[in-house]
Amino acid sequence: MNCQEGMEYMQRQLDGDLDERESEALISHTRHCQQCAAMFERLQLLSAGLENLPKVTPPYSLVDAILPRLAELPAAEAVRAPVGERTQKQAERVVPVKRWTDRFSMRAFGGVLAAGVVVGLFLVTYQPDGAAKNDASLFDASSANMAMDSGKQSSSSESQSAPDDSEQNADEEVSTSSADRNTSEPEERAIEPRSKSIAGNDSGGSGSTDKGSVESDTYYVGEKQEKDPEAEAEAEPSQGKGNSPNYNFNITKDPSQESESAGNNGNVEEQMDAIHKQGILGETKNPQDESLSPDENYKAVVVQNELHVYHVADNKLLFISDPVSGGVGAIVWAADSKTLTYEARSDNGTVQMVVVDPEAGTSQVQSP
Amino acid sequence: MVEPGLIKAAQAGDGDALISLLREIENHVYRTAYYILNNEQDALDAAQEALIRIYTKIGSYEEKAQFKTWVQRIVTNICIDKFRRNKPTISIDEHDMVFRDSHTVEEEVLSAYAVQDIRKAIDKLPEHHRAVVVLRYLQDFSYNEIADSLDLPLNTVKSYLFRARQQLQTYLHDYQKGGVRG
């Protein structure tokens, strides 16, 4: 045995990998080779040192530390949860999903790049002499829409990614349209009658400040649906429910949506928005019914056989009704806006009148 | 050793079983992270990340692999990712691998290596060598179990382990000599 072989034998001996014959060969080698004997001794010392390294334990229970995060994860994966339960959970959810940055960077970057290429192509190929910047900005908006449409088309075959795509495109629209504002907003305002709503958004400025929370919320929805085998069927409720947490998000999108819903007020635009999306996603659901309270403090929205009541000022979801099997009928607000009454139709044709107190978040079946 | 029944229950969707399972493995997960990353805070982060990943991926664990190697694969992957982000990679070949201390054999009095010195020496090893050593000594894994955990061929595991030990021995020996004489 030479020293190189000896070294391998020593190493294997440390792991208990030598049979009897091999051990003997090693011993007889180290007996004659002082170098190897010394090396073996040091290796054994090292090995003993490694074996005796302290079996460290964490200073606190890691499982306890992550329990709150784990509690959120099943919600994100609750693909099999009943619809009503899930929409309610979604409504309450505002916590960002951990890895949204990973998803965001790649997808959003791709989307922005695509939009940039379209805009760039336009700028290169189309150079009118006196054509106002305004045209360019209109194009920006419509190209963002195109990008959104193509995103949706590609995703409609693969419904799981649809919410992500629309979200990402929404982001991209936001950036595109805010770029517009920087460059051409005054002209837009002067020339375009419908730029009024943009101006309103700009001065309000709430769109950009709320963007963070809106993003995280929609990412959450996207994440959830990605894992949802019924994503397509579910797209509508989450969209409808999106009127609450995503209210600002919709507003932020207005500049690009306005070409389709010119001249409408916020609520109708939202509706159009929702219808528009449903159309693209191939949804056949009915458009949502909305009813604003007389003092305009509350808004009642019918979302898939449930009545949701929001506080208009902060879009807080105040009330969700039990699912109504036969659909929600006429919604009537009390004159003082403190209560509203809706018709709950059951499958067998009976109609109940239910009175809702939005502030209290309660409802009561009205005795006939 | 984790009860197979507990794993099955956790995979079947029993949340309590899954949490108990995580509690059983958290020390093992942390220990690996601690010695690979050689830093308590990084180890806490990596171990929590690993536990979360195990929590979400429990459904993808298949019985053909040992549960402990599956767990260690997850945690070592996370640690190696972190490690790469934190430190420039060094190849073990850049270090002097020659036996150079034969002349001192007789005068030396060998004493046990200090834990701190061993940790410092481990910290000088490249990522995979380090992972192999940690799995061998802190998890008491066999060559095959290390190979499964790190997705490396058996011979590579052996060669990493042998070279790592040789390297550690050199560092520690030099260090000890320096300490004794200097």
B160-169 residue pLDDT tens: 999 999 999 9
Q: B168 touching A, CB under 8 A? A: yes
Q: In what order do the strands lie in the sheet with A351-357?
A: A328-333, A340-345, A351-357, A362-366
pLDDT value at position A223? 41
pLDDT value at position B73? 96
Supply the pTM of this predicted model.
Answer: 0.46
Percent of chain B with pLDDT over 90: 66
Q: Determine, for residues B118 and A53 on separate chains, whether the beta-carbon distance falls below 8 Å.
A: yes
CA nearest to A3 within chain B = B99
Residue A167 scores a pLDDT above 60: no
SS3 content of chain B, % helix, strand, coil (to 5): 75, 0, 25
Q: Determine, for residues B99 and A35 on separate chains, whether the beta-carbon distance falls below 8 Å.
A: yes
B56-99 confidence digits (pLDDT tens):
999 999 988 899 999 999 999 999 998 788 765 444 444 444 43
Residue A332 scores a pLDDT above 50: yes
Mean pLDDT of A131-139: 49
Of residues A339 and B47, which shows the higher confidence score? B47
pLDDT value at position A140? 52
Mean pLDDT of A127-144: 50
What residues of chain B lie within 8 A of the CB of A63, using their CB? Answer: 19, 22-23, 26, 51
Residue B153 scores a pLDDT above 50: yes
Of residues A362 and A244, which shows the higher confidence score? A362
* Mean pLDDT for all residues in chain B: 85
Spatial separation of the C-alpha atoms in residues A226 and A221, rounded to whole Å: 8
Of residues A1 and B102, which shows the higher confidence score? A1
Spatial separation of the C-alpha atoms in residues A77 and A56, rounded to whole Å: 33
Mean pLDDT of B96-119: 59
Q: A77 touching B, CB under 8 A? A: yes
pLDDT value at position B91? 46
Decide: B138 and B32 in contact? Cβ < 8 Å.
yes
Q: Which tokens belong to A92?
A: 């309450």
pLDDT value at position A39? 93
Q: Which of A263-272, A305-314, A324-333, B24-33 is modeled with the greatest confidence?
A: B24-33
What residues of chain A lie within 8 A of the CB of B31, using their CB? Answer: 55-57
Instruction: List CB contacts of B117: < 8 A, sequence separation 6 or more.
Output: B172, B175, B176
Is residue A330 helix, strand or coil? strand
Of A12, A43, A52, nearest to B169 by CB-CB distance is A43
Going by pLDDT thresholds of 50, 70 and 90, the confidence category of residue B10 is very high
In chain B, residues 11-70 whose CB comes closer than 8 Å to chain A:
15, 19, 22-23, 26-27, 29-31, 34-35, 40, 43-44, 47-48, 51-52, 55-56
Going by pLDDT thresholds of 50, 70 and 90, the confidence category of residue B37 is very high
Decide: A290 and A166 in contact? Cβ < 8 Å.
no
A35-78 confidence digits (pLDDT tens):
999 999 999 999 999 999 999 999 999 999 999 888 887 644 43
* Mean pLDDT for all residues in chain A: 64
Q: Determine, for residues A45 and B110 on separate chains, whether the beta-carbon distance falls below 8 Å.
A: yes
Percent of chain A with pLDDT over 90: 17
Q: Which helix (H) or strand (E) holds A345?
A: strand A340-345
Spatial separation of the C-alpha atoms in residues A333 and A356, rounded to whole Å: 9
- β partners of residue A316: A311
Going by pLDDT thresholds of 50, 70 and 90, the confidence category of residue A250 is very low
Residue A222 scores a pLDDT above 80: no
Q: Which residue has the tokens 């994860």?
A: A73
Q: Which tokens belong to A2?
A: 């030479």
Going by pLDDT thresholds of 50, 70 and 90, the confidence category of residue A151 is very low
Q: Determine, for residues B143 and A15 on separate chains, whether the beta-carbon distance falls below 8 Å.
A: yes
The alpha carbon of residue B12 is apart from the nearest alpha carbon of chain A, in Å, by 14
- In angstroms, what is the C-alpha Rg of chain A? 32
pLDDT value at position B67? 95
Q: A67 touching B, CB under 8 A? A: yes
Of residues B181 and B112, which shows the higher confidence score? B112
Going by pLDDT thresholds of 50, 70 and 90, the confidence category of residue A272 is low
